[in-house]
């Protein structure tokens, strides 16, 4: 404190606006408030991390991309930090529907490297990724055709707010829907109002839910990956 021309503890207490600050903080009677920490930070030129832990924060690191399609090789793409990423197998919809556990490597089309904080505690849930088809517009505008979704097969209990991958032969074995149920029926609901709800008897498909959609990725600089009419800019699949 002498180096900063602080005469004594009373002088310091007056600066931070807390009576008996040092005595109370050292004894554990109270903790410094955010406002007090900001004042101390300015006085001593130390970071709040240092004031709280005695250590400076790690050096700045550039923000890593959320997703990268890296092919089927197990190595993470160059420039990405491996400890930050999880490789999720990208498979066809029928494969995602057919395996509740780990998916055999022969069925993996690609790897989706996803930033781990986007996955959270689900990274050991045998996640699988599916790319929606060129005509899969039933969940637009929420999830666009051509999007990639990640499915958690361990979360099959339906909730009102959830979006789920379901077994539906009419849409390639795997469709993305909102799900509700009655005693005898599953009710599959689309966000696109042009697609009416679908009621399916539970006796026909008892385990219709493949898993919950926990994450989706859509490119907003490309038109949806389909061969339909060109967009307003005259392009089908080029950059917008």
Write down the pTM of the prediction: 0.61
Assess whether 110 and 162 both reside in one domain: yes
Q: For the beta carbon of residue 182, count every other beta carbon within 10 angstroms.
A: 9
151 with 98, same domain?
Answer: yes
Residue 145 lies in a domain: yes
Question: Residue 213: its pLDDT value, please?
Answer: 94
Whether 90 and 24 share a structural domain: no
Angle at 138 (CA atoms; ends 136, 144), nearest 5 degrees: 60
- pLDDT at site 94: 82
Let me know if residue 15 belongs to a domain: yes
45 and 74 belong to one structural domain: no
Residues 150 and 186 in one domain: yes
Q: Tell me the residue range of the domain where 204 lies.
A: 67-217
pLDDT tens digit at each of 240 positions of the chain = 555 566 677 776 677 676 766 677 677 776 777 777 677 777 777 676 666 677 766 554 544 444 554 444 456 666 667 777 888 888 888 888 777 777 777 788 888 888 888 888 888 888 999 988 888 889 998 998 888 999 999 999 999 889 999 998 876 688 999 999 999 999 999 999 999 999 999 999 999 999 999 988 887 766 554 444 444 444 443 333
CA distance 87 to 80: 12
With respect to residue 231, please indicate whether it lies within any of the assigned structural domains. no
Same domain, 152 and 42: no
**Is 227 inside a domain boundary?**
no
Residue 164 lies inside a defined structural domain of this protein: yes
- Which two tokens mark 164? 């789920």
Total domains present in the chain: 2
Looking at the domain assignment, is residue 191 inside a domain? yes
Instruction: Mark whether 136 and 158 lie in a shared domain.
Output: yes
Q: Is residue 222 part of a domain?
A: no
Is 140 inside any structural domain?
A: yes
7 with 107, same domain?
A: no
Is there a single domain that holds both residue 208 and residue 101? yes
Q: How far apart are CA 13 and CA 37, in angstroms?
A: 12
Residue 101 shares a structural domain with residue 49: no
Choose among 145, 136, 138: nearest CA to 178: 138
CATH number at residue 43: 1.10.260
Q: pLDDT at position 26, please? A: 72
Same domain, 145 and 29: no
């Amino acid at each position: 404190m002498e180096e900063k021309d602080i005469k004594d503890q009373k002088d310091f207490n007056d600066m931070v606006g807390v009576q008996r600050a040092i005595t109370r903080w050292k004894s554990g009677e109270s903790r410094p408030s955010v406002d007090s920490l900001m004042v101390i930070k300015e006085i001593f030129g130390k970071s709040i991390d240092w004031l709280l832990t005695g250590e400076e924060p790690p050096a700045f690191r550039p923000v890593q991309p959320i997703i990268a399609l890296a092919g089927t090789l197990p190595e993470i793409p160059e420039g990405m930090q491996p400890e930050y990423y999880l490789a999720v197998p990208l498979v066809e919809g029928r494969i995602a529907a057919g395996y509740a556990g780990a998916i055999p490597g022969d069925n993996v089309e690609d790897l989706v490297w996803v930033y781990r904080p986007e996955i959270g505690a689900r990274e050991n849930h045998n996640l699988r990724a599916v790319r929606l088809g060129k005509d899969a517009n039933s969940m637009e505008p929420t999830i666009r055709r051509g999007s990639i979704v990640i499915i958690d097969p361990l979360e099959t209990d339906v909730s009102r707010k959830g979006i789920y991958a379901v077994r539906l032969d009419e849409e390639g074995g795997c469709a993305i829907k909102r799900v509700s149920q009655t005693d005898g029926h599953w009710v599959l609901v689309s966000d696109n109002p042009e697609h009416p709800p679908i009621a399916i008897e539970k006796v026909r498909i008892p385990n219709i839910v493949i898993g919950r959609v926990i994450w989706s990725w859509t490119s907003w600089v490309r038109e949806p990956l389909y061969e339909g009419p060109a967009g307003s800019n005259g392009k089908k699949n080029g950059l917008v």
